[in-house]
Structure 1
Amino acid sequence: MKVNGTPLSSGEGKRSAAAGPDPEVSAKATRRRFTAAYKLSIVEQADACETPGEMGELLRREGLYSSHLSSWRKAAREGSLRGLAKKRGPRPSSGKREARKVRKLERENARLREELRKARIVIEVQGKSIGAAGVEPRGREELLSAAEGLAGHVGVRAACAALGVAHATFYRRRRPKTGQRQPRPAPARALSEAEHGEVFEVLCSPRFADRAPAEVYATLLDEGVYLCSERTMYRILAGNKAVRERRAQRSHPNHPKPEVVARAPNEVWSWDITRLLGPEKWRYFYLYVILDIFSRYAVGWMVAERETAGLAGRLIEESCLKHGVQPRVLTLHSDRGSPMTGKCTAQLLADLGITQSLSRPRISNDNPYSEAQFKTVKYHPGFPGRFGGIEEAKDFCRDFFMWYNAGHRHGGIGLLTPEQVHFGRAPAVIEHRQEVLAAAYAARPDRFVAGPPRAAELAAEVWINRPIPVSVVDGAEAAAQGSGADGKEGSLN
């Protein structure tokens, strides 16, 4: 067999009887259709069933439901099979359905009218309380009074949001404290009002206006001047509302690192999509691949002309059916591409009972197994680089994935083939290899200076982002602390 002109070694591309289902999934779904003759034959076979369970066996064998049989029997009784040729389409509308639609629209209309009324009240109060352009906004107490009056019309949450008042402040004003707070006495070492003004004037001077308090503090010390500490400078600036972030920076959420482990086949699958160059520039074909990370077996693949969540859902669903994946067993890992994070993909995984795992944004090594598999595809000697059509790309992938699953000795799984690991034949192969190595050692032990050779073993578990043990983290932190203040080296307990 050849992969696009490149010969494969004998036996590597042949599919064995126990190789499992074909991983290819067609990008175009076909609807199952029944002819009138087929329906009549099923009705006749069902009428001929006599023993219990025989009819159920017929329905399971043909992939039918009892509702099919009931409708077909009714159509057969009509004589001319008018029911079998019934056209598909929406049901005729009824008066009850139209009445329900009218009531629903009336409720929606009433809701929108109420929201419009509240919005008008909010806009009117905002215009009076906050002020128009060029008008000085009102004070805090006036805003709280306006929020108190507005809350009776639109609710507390909407009133506070419209006027920019905190909920806690609003409720605190409703329940004022009875006791009178004593003013906090100023400590004797505190700076005087004149010293506060002097420090603030220095910080706002043209010389230091663009510098941080730490730089101002150090510069003045070099010149032999000490005004106050760096922290006091920050307090003085904060008291005059002169502290804020001046750099235009974006804040990113802290995405947790995905930690996924597989200890057997069909526990964790990884999938991704890569582009294959088409016959001309800017035209691509898209290769979808689902990989079992424990065995590196390609459980499903698809070549399509588009990259959509619908095609990805079809690939995932058919691959699960082919391999008999049970609910709440499989974890599906991927990056954060649009087909992976689409709503229909998330709903499909929830319906199938599959746990979804996503990589962190802009982190390339959170999906390592799919990325490495795509490198194997594109660095293969038979990879053409550019395909003349989608059928040529499919022909290449059929030969390649047959070789990859059945003939490729993978370095990450002890130089076994993915098919051997996925279908449980790895222990027998490792045992056979060990027997060959033992025979070679018995014949010439002097050639093995490190002792009897051992065949490569299969890893017990495969991780995506293996967590760091706590002991290692503690040891690294203790080592980073270095020596103590007295000059003695730190010790680990």
Structure 2
Amino acid sequence: MIQLLDEPLPAGVSERTACRILDVSRSSLRAFRIRYHFCGPISPHRRKRRKTPQPRALSVEERTEVREVMLSAQYHDQPPAQVYFSLLEQGIYLCSISTMHRLMRADGLNGERRQQRPASPQPIPRLQATAPLQVWTWDITKLPTKKRGEYLSLYIVMDLFSRYIVAWMLSRKENSALSSHLIQEAYERYDIKPDTLTLHQDRGMPMTAHCYLDLLGELAITASHSRPRVSNDNAMSESQFKTMKYQPDYPRRFDSYDHAMGWCEEYVLWYNQAHHHSGLAGFTPHQVFSGEYLNIAKVRQQALDEMYDRHPERFSQGRPSISMPPAEVYINPIPEDADQATVEKGVNFPTLQRAIAKVT
């Protein structure tokens, strides 16, 4: 078809013959020529849009009056629908709502006209843990029951460095009083010293309530919050919840509170004591939290050395060495190639708060 439109026909071949061979109607050929502006004969009956004035359109004076009303002090922050009905109640009709929109769009005045709260970007939480009991991260997940619409709330507080679950609670509801009780109990259990712990959480209601934040202030715990609408600022807790809900024996719905309580007790015991964590080089959270991994690492290395001495040909890379858990664990680490602006934007806000508190 394109060749038929763009190139002249061979000698002795008429347009009718070409259309019959290509199984194309002559009317379609003319329509394509008009639509895509190909060279060649164009039908004299081609329709052209005439630029004639619309008799129902507003005059220049009427359009000016509508713009003045829309930009007046009374209506400058109101949408066209509100302006239309307000004027109509006063016995005034200027134009339809769609015409108001059209005139505003032509002047670039369309969009939200009400005063908006300015954006307040939050600093990127950048946390670092080099030992247990320096940074805790916690969150709440819902556990469905067999009763339609009924969910249980599972609170889990985890040590960032070791991934050890230091405290947890199962409740039928979610509120700041329960979260405050859980944090205070864990604080006393591990004998946390003032100004030594940073607690990271998202911006849910129990994490931002005044009574909860007041408790953190009384205990001298630095509060760190995820950014709004950012899903990976609390990745450690979210990963732990995925590990829980992908267990082979995880029930899709729990029979009752007691059923969920029993299952969670077994899960927390397994996670802390028997789960070989991939982020900890295969050590369990309890081994890293208690420091036992240092002795266990010697046993692992001895087993590898003995196998290497018996069959060195099986190790193409030479004598093997075990991997150790990371010496530093981060939430949102600063990239190595980051410029100064990125570093300042993502300042370690809890550390800054703690330093200011000590000065004041």
Give, as a single letter, the amino acid of the residue that structure 2 aligns with 1:387.
F
Determine which structure has the larger helix proportion and give its number: 1
The structure 1 residue matched to 2:330, chosen from 441, 459, 463, is 463
Matches of 2:332 and 2:197, distance apart in 1: 18
Q: How far 1:210 moved relative to its partner? A: 2.4
> Cα distance 1:207–1:380, how it changes in 2: closer, same or farther (>3 A)?
closer
Give, as a single letter, the amino acid of the residue that structure 2 aligns with 1:328.
D
1:142-161 residue pairs with structure 2 within 5 A?
A: none
The structure 1 residue matched to 2:106, chosen from 181, 197, 210, is 210
Q: How far 1:208 moved relative to its partner? A: 12
Deviations 1:77-103 (A, max 9, x none): xxxxxxxxxxxxxxxxxxxxxxxxxxx
Q: Does 1:352 align with 2:219?
A: yes
Q: Does 1:409 align with 2:276?
A: yes
CA contact (8 A) 2:104 2:110 kept: no
Matches of 2:293 and 2:321, distance apart in 1: 15
> Cα distance 1:434–1:360, how it changes in 2: closer, same or farther (>3 A)?
same
The structure 2 residue matched to 1:313, chosen from 172, 180, 184, is 180
Q: How far 1:320 moved relative to its partner? A: 1.2
Q: Does 1:257 align with 2:124?
A: yes
Q: Does 1:422 align with 2:289?
A: yes
Q: What's the secondary structure of 1:366's corresponding residue?
A: coil
User: In structure 1, what is the equivalent of residue 53 of structure 2?
Assistant: none
Q: Does 1:324 align with 2:324?
A: no
Matches of 1:363 and 1:275, distance apart in 2: 19
Deviations 1:113-163 (A, max 9, x none): xxxxxxxxxxxxxxxxxxxxxxx99xxxxxxxxxxxxxxxxxxxxxxxxxx
1:236-247 residue pairs with structure 2 within 5 A?
A: 246-247=110-111
CA contact (8 A) 2:145 2:151 kept: yes
**Count of aligned residue pairs for this structure pair:** 239
Matches of 2:277 and 2:293, distance apart in 1: 12
1:450-489 residue pairs with structure 2 within 5 A?
A: 450-469=317-336, 471-473=337-339
TM-score norm. by structure 2 comes to 0.63
The structure 1 residue matched to 2:205, chosen from 327, 335, 338, is 338
Q: Does 1:248 align with 2:112?
A: yes
- The ranges of structure 1 where at least 4 consecutive aligned residues each deviate by more than 3 angstroms after the TM superposition are 206-209, 471-474
Q: What's the secondary structure of 2:111's corresponding residue?
A: coil
User: In structure 1, what is the equivalent of residue 250 of structure 2?
Assistant: 383
Structure 2, unaligned runs of 5 or more: 1-71, 74-101, 343-360
Matches of 2:298 and 2:165, distance apart in 1: 25
> Cα distance 1:290–1:447, how it changes in 2: closer, same or farther (>3 A)?
same
Q: How far 1:252 moved relative to its partner? A: 2.6
Q: What's the secondary structure of 2:136's corresponding residue?
A: strand
Structure 1, unaligned runs of 5 or more: 1-135, 138-205, 213-244, 477-493
Give, as a single letter, the amino acid of the residue that structure 1 aligns with 2:112.
A
Q: How far 1:211 moved relative to its partner? A: 6.8
Matches of 1:463 and 1:209, distance apart in 2: 49
Q: Does 1:303 align with 2:150?
A: no
Q: Does 1:290 align with 2:153?
A: no
> Cα distance 1:209–1:333, how it changes in 2: closer, same or farther (>3 A)?
closer
Q: How far 1:388 moved relative to its partner? A: 1.2
Matches of 1:329 and 1:420, distance apart in 2: 22
Q: What's the secondary structure of 2:177's corresponding residue?
A: helix
RMSD: 2.3
User: In structure 1, what is the equivalent of residue 231 of structure 2?
Assistant: 364
Q: What's the secondary structure of 1:348's corresponding residue?
A: helix
User: In structure 1, what is the equivalent of residue 351 of structure 2?
Assistant: none
Matches of 2:104 and 2:176, distance apart in 1: 56
Deviations 1:362-416 (A, max 9, x none): 1110000110011111110111111111111110011110111000000001100
TM-score norm. by structure 1 comes to 0.46
State, as a whole percentage, how many aligned pairs show the same letter: 39
